[in-house]
């Protein structure tokens, strides 16, 4: 044990020492890519590989200027690349056999392109070019006619359709809204003109909605507002080689798989102006004996949706 009596002289020396020994502030945390988080399945206790891959397309976690990240020009190619990077992580961790065991794929909106690439219908490079064209065309269409999307929670599809009809009537010509994403019971996204979106939010409670949430997207996706983007995408699809997929890939437009390259191109073009039939797709797969699935893409989106369709369905995620 030491005892120290601090004199005026030692006090000054101690204060000098403190100043000398004061550490500089820590450096700022390192910067990361805005789209660093990806999810796919991590098997527990080494079960057999899951028979389905889901590819999601929600906005990634914000880690940069929000308005830039919300731009579909940036987010779409980034999500596409990140999702396929997650597939490569599965390959590295579990081997090619785990990927070969997958016997069907589905993708939500943009995710359909990732699913087609995974299934061999598109090369990575061609898929990336199409996704970049899709994002730029959709952004241009959104800039030309300001529009948006609203998530409606707590209503069945029929009641949401009635809400859309009332909101369209209240909003006036050219501002109508319609269901754009049939996700799961009680969760549907509607899309349309800004006045129509505002009317949906204003009338939501009156129609019994638990809540309405404005989505951070560039425009009215999967409606006629995207007609100019559809025309541009058709041109790109016409010059892009598409092969028959090695496994079935479920189309967002009609909730069915297609093997003919011409039909695949047509449905990818129509997807921009057609509602996403995700709930019907999942129910069809469950009806055919789907046993487990992997989600690949930013955030746990399709896994949460599936729990609303079938609570017992086993679905997991892996990050990279």
Q: What is the pLDDT of residues 253-303, one digit of tens each?
A: 999 999 999 999 999 999 999 999 999 999 999 999 999 998 987 777 898
Beta strands in the chain (DSSP E): 52-55, 104-107, 147-153, 177-184, 187-193, 211-214, 249-250, 276-277, 293-296, 315-317
* CATH match of 52-143+223-317 with 3.40.366.10: yes
Mean pLDDT value of segment 14-39: 37
Q: Where are the domains of the chain?
A: 52-143+223-317, 146-214
Return the pLDDT at 67: 73
pTM summary value: 0.80
SS3 45: coil
The answer to whether residue 46 is catalytic is no
The CATH fold assigned to 146-214 is: Alpha-Beta Plaits (3.30.70)
DSSP state of 197: H
Kindly name the residue from 137, 222, 251, 281 that is annotated as catalytic.
222
Q: Which two tokens stand for residue 302?
A: 């399709």
**The domains spanning 52-143+223-317 and 146-214 adopt the same CATH topology:** no
Kindly name the residue from 83, 109, 137, 191 that is annotated as catalytic.
109
Instruction: Please tell me the distance from the alpha carbon of residue 222 to that of residue 87, in angstroms, as a whole number.
Output: 27
For 82-137, the three-class secondary structure string (H helix, E strand, C coil) is HHHHHHHHHHHHHCHHHHHCCCEEEECCCHHHHHHHHCCCCCHHHHHHHHHHHHHH
**Nearest in space to 32 (alpha carbons), one of 61, 57, 55:** 61
Instruction: Please tell me the distance from the alpha carbon of residue 200 to that of residue 188, in angstroms, as a whole number.
Output: 12
Q: What integer best gives the mean pLDDT of the chain?
A: 84
3-state DSSP helix/strand/coil percent for the chain, to nearest 5?
A: 45, 15, 40
pLDDT at 71 over 90: no
User: pLDDT-based confidence at 48, cuts 50/70/90?
Assistant: very low
Phi/psi region, residue 41 (left: phi>0; alpha: psi -120 to 50; beta: rest), is beta
């Amino acid at each position: 044990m030491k005892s120290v009596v601090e004199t005026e002289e030692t006090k000054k020396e101690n204060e000098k020492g403190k100043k000398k020994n004061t550490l500089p502030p820590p450096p700022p945390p390192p910067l990361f890519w805005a789209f660093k988080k990806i999810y796919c399945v991590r098997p527990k206790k080494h079960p057999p590989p899951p028979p389905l891959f889901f590819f999601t397309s929600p906005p990634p976690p914000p880690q940069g200027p929000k308005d830039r990240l919300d731009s579909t020009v940036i987010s779409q190619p980034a999500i596409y690349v990140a999702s396929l990077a997650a597939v490569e992580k599965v390959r590295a961790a579990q081997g090619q056999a785990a990927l070969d065991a997958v016997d069907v794929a589905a993708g939500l909106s943009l995710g359909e392109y990732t699913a087609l690439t995974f299934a061999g219908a598109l090369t990575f490079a061609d898929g990336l070019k199409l996704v970049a064209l899709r994002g730029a065309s959709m952004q241009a269409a959104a800039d030309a006619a300001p529009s948006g999307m609203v998530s409606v929670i707590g209503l069945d599809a029929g009641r949401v359709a009635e809400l859309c009809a009332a909101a369209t009537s209240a909003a006036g010509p050219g501002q109508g809204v319609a269901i754009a994403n049939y996700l799961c019971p009680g969760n549907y996204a509607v899309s349309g003109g800004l006045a129509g979106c505002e009317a949906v939010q204003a009338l939501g409670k009156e129609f019994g909605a638990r809540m309405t949430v404005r989505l951070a997207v560039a425009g009215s996706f999967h409606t006629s507002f995207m007609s100019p983007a559809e025309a541009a995408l058709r041109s790109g699809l016409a010059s892009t080689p598409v092969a028959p997929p090695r496994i079935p890939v479920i189309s967002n437009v009609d909730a069915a798989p297609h093997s003919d390259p011409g039909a695949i191109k047509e449905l990818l073009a129509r997807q921009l102006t057609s509602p996403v039939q995700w709930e019907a797709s999942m129910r069809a797969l469950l009806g055919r004996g789907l046993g487990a699935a992997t989600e690949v893409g930013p955030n746990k989106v399709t896994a949460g949706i599936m729990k609303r369709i079938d609570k017992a369905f086993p679905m997991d995620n892996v990050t990279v």
